[in-house]
Structure 1
Amino acid sequence: MRQWPRWMSAVALALGASLAGSGVAFAGTTLTVAAFPAIDEIVRSALPAWHALHPDVEVKIVSRELNDHHTAMTTALSTAKGLPDVMALEIGYLGRFAQGTGLEDLSQPPYNLSRERGRFTAYAFDQATTPSGAVLAVPTDIGPGTLLYRADLLAKAGLKETDLTASWDGYVAAGAKLKAATGAYLLAHARDMKDILIRTGLQPGEGLYFDKDSRPLVTSPRFVRAFELARAVRRQQLDAKVTAWSSDWTEGFKRGGIATQMSGAWLAGHLNTWLAPGTRGKWRAAQLPEGAFAAYGGTFFAMARHGDAARKPLAYEFIRFMTTNRAQQLAAFKAQDAFPALIDAQTDPFYDQPLPFLGGQAARRDWRAAAAHIRAFPVHKQDAFAREVIDTELDKVLDRDKDIAAALADAQRLLQQRARR
């Protein structure tokens, strides 16, 4: 019989007591939750319901900006100092954590999270699962990809939705007509084309940039096509050359200077509430062109392997409260546009409600359908670095007319060197 480490046995006993409803052992306990916007607000909003179950357990929220938060978590995990009990992780950073040994493997007793895989959107759960089967985080929200477009600008150009969505070549061609008729750019930056196209056509076992043996994949056909279409956008002057979250990006939406945006479904909520509320009713949502399905963003909760063992049972219960509680998942969706990772929270009349910002579309149903089609790809510890390399080479193609084959070959060599480390 397999023997658990002594601390794990203690965790199992305490976890059992906690889940049985005994709050006595945790009276006066304070849990520390490290998060970033808007996850910090979601956690804060959940505290009254949490305190109804655990009135004697306080929750301290430590919030930092996205990059600062993940830098702090990297430092805490590597030094085993200043570790929170619960940490939020964004999917773009998950790879660097998943490759190490700093996170608790929740597939093991006493957690046995693998048994509950079917409760979560499949691709999100797979993203937190290593090739060896370790489950290092619990998904809480997902970002099913969508194409948001200005219906009024399309109408002015004599275009319809299928002109944008039938194919990627058609999307670019429609952009040329849009620009000629309205002056609006097809998209914010040609890089957006690359970001989605490299996520299409992945073969089983392939990661975004590396295969299962850490060999770079950036000279593959999907990267070639992504660079070619991005270059076509730039050569036809169809992109505004502005980066996401910049003031020019926001102004482009407010003034109708950007006609489409591929992003996670959550962007529709941001446009409605603070980015461009004055454009309400002018936008529509569609599935991505050419039958593509991709994820944009997603959040997970995790625990540090070297965190305080005495608080781990309660920390895990808090994670479960945030991720497997249908009411809590729906509350986060309604308040912060955090699309639920919990499948049980994806069946609610809320999904059938028309969205005034999208001209009365019941777009949440389409986003739910998209989530069911998305497939996970393995994360790699060098993914963040690989993205920087690819973005740099694409800029050389777009701004200096560097040959695409040469740009990707240079990226391949650099990533091969880095992967050996």
Structure 2
Amino acid sequence: MNLKTITLSSIIALSLASTANASDGDIRFDGFPDFDSSLKEFLPAFEKKTGIKVDYLMNNHGDHHTKLTTNLATGSGAGDVVVVDVEKIGPFVESGGLVNLSEKYGADKYAEKFAPYAWAQGKDADGNVYAIPVDLGPGVMYYRTDIFKKEGVAVDAAITDWDAYIALGKKLKKDDIFLIASAADVAQAIIYTTVPDGEGLYFDKDGNSVVTSARFVKAFTVAKTIRDNGLDAHITAWSNEWYEGFRNGTFATQLSGAWLLGHLKNWIAPDTSGKWAVSNLPDGIYGSWGGSFLSIPKQSKHQDKAWELIKYMTINPDTQLSAFATIAAFPSNITTYGDPLFDQPIEFLGGQKARQVFANVAKNIKPVQPGKGDHVARSIILENALMQVLDEGKDIKEALAEAERLIKRRTRNM
């Protein structure tokens, strides 16, 4: 799930409203928008069924994780159930502040109900489960069908490999249309989806950095080729320019998660309904673009009740489908994928049965074990080294070597 779409004013309003709901309940749920919209839908039924009253406290994405870090470190202040974003899951699982759900509740027996890659992300190095996936972000390519039709391009041909994707960009450029908002998204896709067996995103099984490997060189090279040929719009995600780009057809494709559909349809570009469709990512890759987990802090005094809520939100297919319908949170529970909802055409995507595409991607993503230093490495690689290459023309291997030195320094004591 992604909430960078929430404005400051709405964050304040949501936090104030949600804080008011965090007072007298049996247990408290700590998360970030738009979880509150989903909770409002299913909590009445949950409370009626179990007799457990649930209050919730919502903070914006960054503040929520900062607060949770402090809560776990000090041993107080956390809710009974807490949400953790996939980009933060590694360090939180290894923090020592969460309940071992395998040991206390036998969570491993539910493994087959979940996408394997997401289930693996909630485990520690010893294979114990500390976090249950609640939603996924299967990675897809959104594309403007009207632009593809005008250019006479078949989407399957355009995503055969990265060369074909770049060739599409060169064709579009002649008509003053960009291939994608930012070349950085392509680098991220390659880094996240081509992890060799036995490696994590940024570290090997022994905790050694792998950011100078061929995978990162390729990711940076493809992104740089796109940038050097003037094929991306230099537009940062979640900016006003990004929103306008979707509305005006400034760029023809966007690599993202299934959740982007809800944003496009509901507020970013509702007037473009019928002009979009989704496909697999280019080059035959399958990957995740977001996702969230639920955990129980050890400090909770109501752990059994908290576990009941987690089960209701993840193992119960009806709740998973409710969240899918309410906030476009793609189900982590794969037993839902046969529901008739997945066969319904989506008007915004020109009648495409896109949920089938999302489900197929989710089933094909390979498990990747998160590492304690992933959040540090991600910042150094995607927000620093990659930008130096794309914006400043820095040599790729030099940028990656420098990034590796920084990663080793900053993760030395983790």
Instruction: Report 1:284-303 matches (<5 A).
Output: 284-303=277-296
5+ long unaligned stretches in structure 2: 1-23
Instruction: Report 1:15-164 matches (<5 A).
Output: 30-55=26-51, 57-109=52-104, 111-164=105-158
1:396 aligns to 2:391 (yes or no): no
Aligned 8 A contact 2:47 2:54 in 1: no
Q: For residue 358 of structure 1, what is the aligned residue in structure 2?
A: 349
How big is the shift at 1:136? 0.7
Q: For residue 259 of structure 1, what is the aligned residue in structure 2?
A: 252
Aligned 8 A contact 1:163 1:174 in 2: no
Aligned 8 A contact 1:214 1:419 in 2: no
Opposite residue 39 of structure 1, the aligned amino acid is F
> Partners of 2:311 and 2:379 in 1: how far apart?
34
Aligned 8 A contact 2:180 2:253 in 1: yes
5+ long unaligned stretches in structure 1: 1-27
Q: Deviations over 1:199-251 (max 9, x none)?
A: 23312221111112111111111100111111111111111111111111111
> Partners of 1:103 and 1:251 in 2: how far apart?
42
Instruction: Report 1:226-245 matches (<5 A).
Output: 226-245=219-238
> Partners of 1:368 and 1:190 in 2: how far apart?
26
Match of 1:306 among 291, 299, 305: 299
Give the TM-score, by structure 2 length: 0.92
Instruction: Report 1:371-390 matches (<5 A).
Output: 371-390=362-381
Opposite residue 82 of structure 1, the aligned amino acid is G
Q: For residue 282 of structure 1, what is the aligned residue in structure 2?
A: 275
How big is the shift at 1:29? 5.4
Match of 1:325 among 316, 333, 337: 316
How big is the shift at 1:306? 2.3
Could you tell which deviates more after superposition, 39-48 or 58-67?
A: 39-48
Q: For residue 16 of structure 1, what is the aligned residue in structure 2?
A: none
Opposite residue 47 of structure 1, the aligned amino acid is L
- Greater Rg by CA: 1
> Sequence identity of aligned pairs in percent?
41
How big is the shift at 1:131? 2.1
> Partners of 2:33 and 2:167 in 1: how far apart?
37
> Partners of 2:305 and 2:191 in 1: how far apart?
40
Match of 1:340 among 331, 339, 358: 331
- Return structure 1 stretches of 4+ with deviation > 2 angstroms: none
Aligned 8 A contact 2:179 2:251 in 1: yes
Opposite residue 49 of structure 2, the aligned amino acid is L
Secondary structure of residue in 2 paired with 1:249: helix
How big is the shift at 1:269? 1.9
Q: For residue 195 of structure 2, what is the aligned residue in structure 1?
A: 202
How big is the shift at 1:54? 3.2
Aligned 8 A contact 1:254 1:278 in 2: yes
> Partners of 1:265 and 1:179 in 2: how far apart?
27
Could you tell which deviates more after superposition, 36-45 or 100-109?
A: 36-45
> Partners of 1:54 and 1:199 in 2: how far apart?
40
Opposite residue 410 of structure 1, the aligned amino acid is E
Secondary structure of residue in 2 paired with 1:97: helix
> Partners of 1:237 and 1:291 in 2: how far apart?
24
Opposite residue 67 of structure 1, the aligned amino acid is G
> Partners of 1:370 and 1:168 in 2: how far apart?
19
Q: For residue 8 of structure 1, what is the aligned residue in structure 2?
A: none
Aligned-residue Cα RMSD (Å) equals 1.2
> Partners of 2:399 and 2:124 in 1: how far apart?
31
Q: For residue 171 of structure 2, what is the aligned residue in structure 1?
A: 177
Q: For residue 193 of structure 1, what is the aligned residue in structure 2?
A: 186
Opposite residue 54 of structure 2, the aligned amino acid is V
How big is the shift at 1:294? 0.2
